[in-house]
Amino acid sequence: MSVLLWVAVVLIGGAGSVVRFLADGVVGSAAGRDFPVGTLAVNLSGAVLLGLLTGLALGHDQALLAGTAAVGSYTTFSTWMLETQRLTEERQHGKALVNIVLSLAAGIAAAALGRLIGLQL
Amino acid sequence: MRRVLPRVDRREIAAIFVGGALGTLARAALAEAFPHAATAWPWPTFGVNIAAAFALGYFVTRLQERLPLSSYRRPLLGTGLCGGLSTFSTMQVEILKMLEAHAWSLAAGYAAASIAAGYAAIQLATAMVRRVRVRR
């Protein structure tokens, strides 16, 4: 467990968070702000990526850097929950429910799809 | 030329980078310190996700409704730190592995508990901030 590895975790984690912010902004401004599509897009694309990495059977260090650090920081659970709670506060219960069910169901499907692709590579 | 990216504020990006780096370090360190089998409850992921949800609810409510407008606290603490600390993709892959191992009730329980606790954490943090009267 080297210092260099953890320096890389830190730098990649910062970069993954910035990419999430930018992707969320691009998708959000294209799709409108009625529904948190930006977070959904980030989380589903991240689930495909992490599924793919799982399928590749990487070594410990590569999995830590590409999976835990890069894709892990790119996706977010906290914003997903915040946006859902804010939707219910605005009495948009249908949208809040769709945000939970769609993210979860499509997220598992996305991870499964990614893994399938990874196993083929 | 049409602008594809929204206007980028370099200091905002720097704040997200720093927060995200610290959040990711904490999450990765916990994941390394407490490895678990595919069919065991993923405490590291569960713990960081709920903690990050609570912190995000607290920061966002306080910054939006209680404190004077500040440009860099939200990107540093919310988008960066909480976003980097929490993870959606790892949770989905963990659920996928539980399903593949036929650990149906564990998968359902983990998904339901994460969502219920994450939502409750946001609700609780938000209510805590709002209970404190604004001092002028």
Q: Which of A29, A78, A80 sits opposite B6 (nearest CB)?
A: A29
Mean local confidence (pLDDT), A49-75: 97
Note the pLDDT of residue A27: 96
Tens-place pLDDT, residues B35-65: 999 999 999 999 999 999 999 999 999 999 8
Instruction: Say how far apart CA A116 and CA B39 lie, in whole Å.
Output: 20
Residue B119 contacts residue B50 (beta carbons within 8 Å) = no
Query: Angle formed by the axes of helices B43-65 and B104-131, to 10°?
Result: 20
Tens-place pLDDT, residues B71-82: 799 999 999 999
Mean local confidence (pLDDT), A109-118: 98
Q: Do A77 and B75 touch (CB under 8 A)?
A: no
Site of tokens 């399928």? A55
Note the pLDDT of residue B132: 84
Instruction: Say how far apart CA B26 and CA B44 lie, in whole Å.
Output: 10
Binning pLDDT at 50, 70 and 90, where does residue B1 land?
very low
Q: Which residue of B has its CA nearest to A53?
A: B93
Residue A84 has pLDDT above 80, yes or no: yes
Q: Give the percent of chain A with pLDDT over 70.
A: 99
Q: What DSSP line would sit under B39-106, residue for residue? A: TS--HHHHHHHHHHHHHHHHHHHHHHHTSPP-SSHIIIIIIIIIHHH--SHHHHHHHHHHHHTT-HHH
Chain B residues whose CB is inside 8 A of the A64 CB are 28, 32
Q: Percentages helix, strand, coil for chain A, rounded to the nearest 5?
A: 85, 0, 15
φ, ψ at A36 (rounded to 5°): -70, 65
Q: In what helix (H) or strand (E) does residue A63 lie, and over which residues does it extend?
A: none
Q: Do B21 and A14 touch (CB under 8 A)?
A: yes
Residue B81 contacts residue B19 (beta carbons within 8 Å) = yes
Residue A15 has pLDDT above 80, yes or no: yes
Q: Which residue of A has its CA nearest to B84?
A: A73
Nearest to A70, CA basis, from A106, A46, A51, A103: A46
Size of interface A-B (CB pairs under 8 A): 185
Residue B4 has pLDDT above 60, yes or no: no
Q: Which of B90, B95, B118 sits opposite A108 (nearest CB)?
A: B95
Instruction: Say how far apart CA B58 and CA B65 lie, in whole Å.
Output: 11
ipTM entry? 0.96
Note the pLDDT of residue B3: 56
Note the pLDDT of residue B136: 54
Note the pLDDT of residue B35: 94
Question: Which amino acid would we find at residue B105?
Answer: S
Binning pLDDT at 50, 70 and 90, where does residue B14 land?
very high
Q: Which of B18, B99, B118 sits opposite A81 (nearest CB)?
A: B118
Q: Which residue of B has its CA nearest to A21?
A: B79
Note the pLDDT of residue B71: 76
Chain B residues whose CB is inside 8 A of the A80 CB are 88, 118
Q: Do A75 and B89 touch (CB under 8 A)?
A: yes
Tens-place pLDDT, residues B91-123: 999 999 999 999 999 999 999 999 999 999 999
Note the pLDDT of residue A1: 62
Burial code of A103-116, b = ≥16 C-beta within 10 A, e = fewer? Answer: bbebbbbbbbbbbe
Residue A10 has pLDDT above 80, yes or no: yes
